[in-house]
Structure 1
Amino acid sequence: MSMRRMDRVSKRRRPLLQRLPPRSSSISDPNHILIDISEDIISNDSRSVQYAPAGSICETLNLYQTEPSYNGNKSWTREPAAGIVEPVRAPESGQYALLIRNIKCSSGHGRLEVDSIVVQSEHLKGVLARVMDGYPGITMSLERVEFSKPFQPFVHRWELFSEARDDESGAQAKAHIDLLYGVLATELSDIITNKQNLVLNGMITFDMLWTIFEPGQIVLSTVNDCKRAFRLETCWVDSDYEIQAVYIDYNGYEIGYRKYTLYIPAFEGTKPIMSLPMIPFMFHNDKDILRESLILRGKLWYQYEGHHHKHYQGLALTSYGGQEIRYKINSRVIIDTEAYLAFHSDKFSISLIDISDSPSDEDFLIATPVLRGYSLKDRKWLELCIDGVSDIVWKSRPFKSLVLPDGEAKDLKDLVLALATSQSKKSDVSDDLLQGNGRNVIMLLHGPPGVGKTLTAECVAEVMHVPLYVQNAGALGTTAAQIKESLSFVLRMVPKWGAVLLLEEADILTQKHNPSDPQKKALSHVFLPLLEYFEGIIFLASNRVEIMDPALESHIDVAIHYPELDSASRRHIWIRLLGKSDRKAFSGSELFDLEEYKLNGREIRNVLKAARVLARYQETKLGYEHVSKVLKLRYSERDEY
């Protein structure tokens, strides 16, 4: 560029520079604001400028991109926009309370707009430290604190900032606050007014969602029919509004933060705030009552470390092939996150936090309501909601349900309970009995299906007030290696829980050796050593005791045979399963007809289940006609009853 051309540029710049305050000015003057002008001064000069022919000057001219417009078009300027160059640190700029950084408007028409504000005033930093207390990412003790457009912290804390301005009594500090307030009020007036109007009416628009979701605040959502609180971390917009939050969870060993992401789909116009899938906690109508309730729930959740035997009724979840599967269950459960994650593939990571002996109310508030464990009736590992957990109501006389021939019932009950309770209490009798490598009681229950084998194990567990873990041998796996792994897990968990183990179809694992079938021999060699070192009470149930390996006999403490049900036993089962209310609808002759059907206990239960469904469908009370119809349809092909 020629010296004459540079001189013209210098003369044109001088009037602008004269508008800047002199170096000796005090920074307490609220009108002293440094404005970095990025506009092209030359292009705004009204006088004509003589330019060399296009491309004739052998020099470079650096151009700088402004922010893209809303449709992605780019515009350019000769001066670098704020954020592209190193910040000015000259002594003159450092003496001002605020630095206002301007860039060309994205429309590209030459207008300027505020890009960011740098706070340097100690008065302001002191006030803002109180206003922005707890706001993530803001450290007011820094020498220079920068806030970028759209100034989210001030939108979220505008009421607090306004109150701090009104409460300030010092003249100098008040002047500095007014200085910042004036700049922000101009920039944010439309946003603040729009937000206040929407919130006053309980509504929000998609483009204003960011104004009500403040980082670090507590938010509320309903997940799987369960109200849950989270602490919001970050939000951003793609096609949807994405919210990333955290909550407190337990991985079986440690308590820590776990991430949770939720999406609010884009929508047109206004939408009720309360209809959003996640809302700021402060907007809930009964926030104080709900907060207290969730804190109490969190305190209860903290007590479920380790393992616990409880009753559960409600929604339960599991996953298969990446798909969530829901169940409605009503069962006794073992709550044990460590065992759940050892068996289940749904492992997760948490960020460790230092939870003191007295966690804060916010720790309790954002604690997950999810417990993980095993449903004893459904035989599934599931996620449970703590709201559905309750204490177990134990049956006072469980053996009353067990039907055995006269003279055998009492003897059986006495023997089984003597063995079970002695092992449980580790009495002298138990010590004499439990000689060998394992401290266990092994009972073999054999006989046809539906005659009381399972019920016997249930009664023992009920009397002892311990869980009954039922495992079908056929579900352990298809190879010796699979069976060993699955069975080893079961035999570790059962003693840990203090449970009674019922192994159904035990003959699968202990069949007589057959030279033509080495797999059966391999299973026996896997099972017997594991059985020997098992500690606890185990019932082996079998319908085919005659095929079992004789080597098992030395491991059995007691073997009990269950005969086929006679007519008197069947009548007793019909009466018990009908219950007092339904029993009144059946005459003595009708009960006599029913007992003549040669059914086992399980079959009688299934018949009554179908009959009750039929009665509900017909909107009538259960009667003999419903049971009779089911029996005729189900057993019409039998030659004899």
Structure 2
Amino acid sequence: MGIEDLVSAESIDSVDDSDSDLSQRTSDRRRLNDKKRKYEEACKHFRYRGGLTYIANDLWTKYRRYAIDTPIYVGARNPPGAAAGSEEAQPNSADGSATEKTETRPFRIRLMSEPLHSEMQDIMGLKALNYDHVAPFRAIIPYEQKFRARLKALEEQFAELAGNHPEALMVTLTRPWLPLELAYHTEIATDYFGTLTVASDTTYGYIDLTRILLDGFRALVFLLDNDLADLVRTYHQAQQGVVESIEFHQLWYLFWPGQEIVTAEPDYQVLRVLSVSGGRMSVVPRKNESSRTTVSNLLINCFHFDYDGQFVRPVLRMLSIVLYPGERPVTALEVFPLQYLESSERLRILHRGQRFSELARGTHRRYKGLNMTTHEFRKLEEVRVRNFLPNTHRLTTRALKIDGDVIIDFEMAFRSQSQGICPPEFNRTIQLIDEDEAETNDPASGISYDGEEFRARAYLEFIGETTLLEPCHLRFMEKDHLFLLPARVFGYVLLSRRWYPLSIDLVTEVHTIEEGDYDAFDDLVLPKRHRNIIRALVKTHARAKPSMEADPLDADPLDLPVRRDFDIVRGKGKGLIILLHGAPGVGKTSTAECVAAHTGRPLFPITCGDLGGTTAQEVEQNLEKFFDMAMKWGCVLLLDEADVFLGERIQGNLQQNSLVSVFLRVLEYYSGVLILTTNRVGQFDEAATSRIHCALYYPPFSKKRALEVWQKNVDRLKRTNEASNVPLRFNEKKIMKFAEKQWDAGSRWNGRQIKNAFQTAAALADWDHLKKPRDEESTPELRVKHFEAVVETSNHFESYLTAVRKSDRERARTNLLRKGRCGPESTRL
């Protein structure tokens, strides 16, 4: 039934109704004529092709109620097809530039055929399929194959009917036909109140309904094959993982719930998709936007894993891809599916996850390189979408060079609340993110383009099937967990006493000294018995307390020494406190460093500055913090210049006395290994000396020991040359002869001064070599003259200091700080 039929029917009705008022009939006639005029006006803008009715997108809403006798009403920027009465245009080619495809691709469609809509709804398994859809038609494209299958079945079904009923009107009809009573809401077929004006009790036979449904699916498949062909192709390529380049408007098909995706910077981070939204043109002007055609960013709601110190938990992220022109290679996107990453990189990410699992349990490792910074996490930062997600990374903006031992410990890192360390927000609610209403609803026309049921179903299917969103212990992680772990761990740098986010790739194993390996302990020039005493004490105490990495189930009780408790009060006196005292530069600090390395324990050096000092309460808090960390990690705790807090208490000095008392009390209950060093042992408080388990005296060097230190430095230089591309030539005999001559001349360098002399002399040798012509192929040579230059400057400085304040030995003896020598060796146990 067309517009002319409707006008004629209403005219007949008005003539037959003799009781109708003349003015009412006139009003009805005027209204009907107005409809006809608008219909004729709309027809001027309609274009027809493949059973579809096209119109310019900006006129789509205005004339949507006048599209009749068509199963699908299509709006595009440049609508294809022909005007009414002209020869129908040929279908577009699926090829063409991205710009051409965007210009001709439909922006929105309306399903006009009720039978078609109902059948599509059943095929898709939805409770309520929208009549109106906008690009990229994400609720339609995924079912393209099922629509084709249904069309094929209808073609076969109708062919059989046509064979049996060749004279039927629906068989002989050469164009698509859709009766108004089976069409979606149109202006033509309703009165002023929206009531259907055509007969609603019309019954259609099986042949009629089959033909109507067939015309609808023919039009739908024509739309898919021509106007939406590039979207269909992209969808199938995305499912197969073979997309090479892609337009922004097609990105929605590249991502789906449950898929593994990867960000490119700072290092590859794998995430799992929860839902996808945005990436579409608005149907109404957005807030604060003047253009109707504003395109939103594609938003990917996803998650990865992180460790909270006890369990691995999901951390929500919202990633964004901004509109870009033309096509872009998939791997050039800020985020793309993991399957497009090279297999070698995927394997590396998997191994990195395994490393994370090992490190996160709490480990002592080495780290060499820069720490990670805020800028490196920018790609993983949440997109600020309507203030939905807060900032969860307060990382340092400075990249610092780190080269030393670190402790990986997430629980302690989060507890520290240090600047640069912020626990991820593990407890955020997982939910389907609402879409922008500017893309889904047109309040003025009352049209809804929301495909929420389709999007929600995919989201809920993944949420219902996966177990990845549940907390998981490090031991029970599977491959799917390992991929999603971050590229960083939180580590405590023992040398700087600060927490940093560290790159897993720069974390290395700590060298364990095996039998026959080079041991720096052997390079120390120590008094007799010192080496064995301190090594035995630390080794046995450390073995009695398993390391932070040890599994208590694997421990052999017969392999551990017995821990004997001699204290009356339980919990006291379980620590090992060793005092190393003597002149500066004789090996006290080096002893502590070598002992830690030899026993495989981390060395935790702290200074008086780390403990504060303004109030006793502050010192106590800092002491307990460092002692707790050292005990948990099994560290050898080193406190240099301990006389500051263990000095003799003096009547009237309340602050100093409080600090000493606090230090002594905390020492009483410390159960770890603590090494104290001082060159002012004469100032120690009497109570402090009683708490020391072992005190080792380091006397000033004799000639024999001084020459031993020179020889150790020469040997170390030999080892350095073996590993260097530019070895430093030298004459060992001449250097040792110079060392003996220097001693006889009255120079009394300590171990640190001898080491510094080697470093300075080597620098002078390198400088002399650099000044030579470049054509000479030789290596630097360390000569005696370089040491003589160092001696000259050193003697001048020492002479000046002696003239000002006497020598260090005299001042130490005068101030009762220490005695020059107290016997060949001094050890108090």
> Shared topology, TM-score over 0.5?
yes
User: Offset of 1:442 from its aligned partner?
Assistant: 0.7
2: CA distance, partners of 1:630 / 1:148: 86
The answer to whether residue 32 in structure 2 is matched with residue 7 in structure 1 is no
User: Offset of 1:229 from its aligned partner?
Assistant: 1.6
The corresponding residue for 1:371 is 489
TM-superposition CA deviations, 1:12-32 (whole Å, max 9, x none): 5999xxxxxxxxxxxxxxxxx
The corresponding residue for 1:297 is 352
- Counterpart residue type for residue 574 of structure 1: N
TM-superposition CA deviations, 1:561-592 (whole Å, max 9, x none): 22233422431342243233368623312234
Aligned runs of 1:97-136 on 2, under 5 Å? Answer: 114=108, 128=124
User: Offset of 1:162 from its aligned partner?
Assistant: 4.8
User: Offset of 1:374 from its aligned partner?
Assistant: 1.6
Q: Is the 8 A contact 2:365 2:406 kept in 1?
A: yes
Highest relative contact order (Cα 8 Å, sep 6+), 1 or 2?
2
1: CA distance, partners of 2:786 / 2:243: 60
The answer to whether residue 366 in structure 2 is matched with residue 311 in structure 1 is yes
The corresponding residue for 1:525 is 661
Q: Is the 8 A contact 1:585 1:623 kept in 2?
A: yes
TM-superposition CA deviations, 1:90-114 (whole Å, max 9, x none): xxxxxxxx9968889899xxxx963
2: CA distance, partners of 1:263 / 1:609: 53
2: CA distance, partners of 1:246 / 1:438: 48
Selected match of 1:624 from 783, 805, 810: 783
- Partner secondary structure for residue 482 of structure 2: helix
**Larger CA deviation: 520-529 vs 177-186:** 177-186
User: Offset of 1:473 from its aligned partner?
Assistant: 2.2
Alpha carbons of structure 1 residues 305 and 197: separation in structure 2 relative to 1, 3 Å: closer
Aligned runs of 1:25-44 on 2, under 5 Å? Answer: none
The corresponding residue for 1:413 is 531
The corresponding residue for 2:399 is 326
- Partner secondary structure for residue 397 of structure 2: strand
Aligned runs of 1:261-410 on 2, under 5 Å? Answer: 271-284=328-341, 286=342, 288-317=343-372, 323-343=396-416, 344-345=418-419, 346-348=421-423, 349-351=425-427, 353-355=469-471, 359-396=477-514, 397-404=519-526, 408-409=527-528
The corresponding residue for 2:734 is 589
- Partner secondary structure for residue 324 of structure 1: coil
Alpha carbons of structure 1 residues 452 and 632: separation in structure 2 relative to 1, 3 Å: closer
TM-superposition CA deviations, 1:483-518 (whole Å, max 9, x none): 222221111121111222111222222222245543
- Counterpart residue type for residue 782 of structure 2: G
TM-superposition CA deviations, 1:235-287 (whole Å, max 9, x none): 65689776554211112133212244556666666654434443332333x2x
Alpha carbons of structure 1 residues 564 and 635: separation in structure 2 relative to 1, 3 Å: same
The corresponding residue for 1:601 is 751
**Larger CA deviation: 478-487 vs 552-561:** 478-487
- Partner secondary structure for residue 325 of structure 1: coil
User: Offset of 1:466 from its aligned partner?
Assistant: 1.9
Q: Is the 8 A contact 1:474 1:508 kept in 2?
A: no
The answer to whether residue 694 in structure 2 is matched with residue 558 in structure 1 is yes
- Counterpart residue type for residue 667 of structure 2: L
Q: Calculate the TM-score normalised by the size of structure 1.
A: 0.71
- Counterpart residue type for residue 635 of structure 1: S
Alpha carbons of structure 1 residues 45 and 317: separation in structure 2 relative to 1, 3 Å: closer
Q: Is the 8 A contact 1:258 1:350 kept in 2?
A: yes
- Partner secondary structure for residue 520 of structure 1: helix
TM-superposition CA deviations, 1:111-131 (whole Å, max 9, x none): x96356699978756765xxx
1: CA distance, partners of 2:609 / 2:262: 45
The corresponding residue for 1:251 is 308
2: CA distance, partners of 1:533 / 1:604: 39
In proportion to residue count, which structure has more strand?
1
Q: Is the 8 A contact 2:765 2:786 kept in 1?
A: no
Alpha carbons of structure 1 residues 639 and 377: separation in structure 2 relative to 1, 3 Å: closer
2: CA distance, partners of 1:126 / 1:389: 56
The answer to whether residue 634 in structure 2 is matched with residue 484 in structure 1 is no
Q: Is the 8 A contact 2:405 2:493 kept in 1?
A: yes
2: CA distance, partners of 1:429 / 1:282: 55
- Counterpart residue type for residue 422 of structure 2: K
Alpha carbons of structure 1 residues 327 and 568: separation in structure 2 relative to 1, 3 Å: same
**Larger CA deviation: 353-362 vs 531-540:** 353-362
User: Offset of 1:45 from its aligned partner?
Assistant: 9.6
Selected match of 1:229 from 249, 264, 270: 270
- Partner secondary structure for residue 648 of structure 2: coil
Q: Please, which runs of 5 or more residues in structure 2 have no aligned partner?
A: 1-22, 45-55, 80-105, 157-213, 280-294, 375-392, 429-468, 545-559, 722-726, 771-778, 801-829
- Partner secondary structure for residue 731 of structure 2: coil
- Counterpart residue type for residue 246 of structure 1: F
- Partner secondary structure for residue 730 of structure 2: coil
User: Offset of 1:356 from its aligned partner?
Assistant: 5.6
- Counterpart residue type for residue 475 of structure 1: D
User: Offset of 1:438 from its aligned partner?
Assistant: 3.3
Alpha carbons of structure 1 residues 492 and 43: separation in structure 2 relative to 1, 3 Å: same
**Larger CA deviation: 507-516 vs 199-208:** 199-208
Aligned runs of 1:138-177 on 2, under 5 Å? Answer: 140=125, 142-144=127-129, 148-151=133-136, 153=138, 161-162=143-144, 171=153
2: CA distance, partners of 1:445 / 1:592: 31
2: CA distance, partners of 1:450 / 1:469: 20
- Partner secondary structure for residue 487 of structure 1: helix
Q: Is the 8 A contact 1:445 1:561 kept in 2?
A: yes
Q: Is the 8 A contact 1:124 1:173 kept in 2?
A: no
The corresponding residue for 1:218 is 260
User: Offset of 1:393 from its aligned partner?
Assistant: 2.0
Alpha carbons of structure 1 residues 197 and 423: separation in structure 2 relative to 1, 3 Å: closer
The answer to whether residue 570 in structure 2 is matched with residue 431 in structure 1 is no
The corresponding residue for 1:494 is 630
- Counterpart residue type for residue 482 of structure 2: F
- Counterpart residue type for residue 335 of structure 2: M
The answer to whether residue 607 in structure 2 is matched with residue 472 in structure 1 is yes
The answer to whether residue 679 in structure 2 is matched with residue 543 in structure 1 is yes
The corresponding residue for 1:450 is 585
- Counterpart residue type for residue 638 of structure 1: F
Identical aligned residues as a percent = 24
- Partner secondary structure for residue 449 of structure 1: coil
- Partner secondary structure for residue 356 of structure 2: helix
**Larger CA deviation: 193-202 vs 394-403:** 193-202
User: Offset of 1:8 from its aligned partner?
Assistant: 2.7
Alpha carbons of structure 1 residues 356 and 561: separation in structure 2 relative to 1, 3 Å: closer
- Counterpart residue type for residue 623 of structure 1: L
2: CA distance, partners of 1:212 / 1:247: 19
Q: Is the 8 A contact 2:636 2:672 kept in 1?
A: yes
User: Offset of 1:338 from its aligned partner?
Assistant: 0.6
Q: Is the 8 A contact 1:115 1:148 kept in 2?
A: yes
- Partner secondary structure for residue 491 of structure 2: strand
Q: Is the 8 A contact 1:312 1:332 kept in 2?
A: yes
User: Offset of 1:360 from its aligned partner?
Assistant: 4.6
User: Offset of 1:5 from its aligned partner?
Assistant: 6.0
- Counterpart residue type for residue 441 of structure 1: L
Alpha carbons of structure 1 residues 594 and 329: separation in structure 2 relative to 1, 3 Å: farther
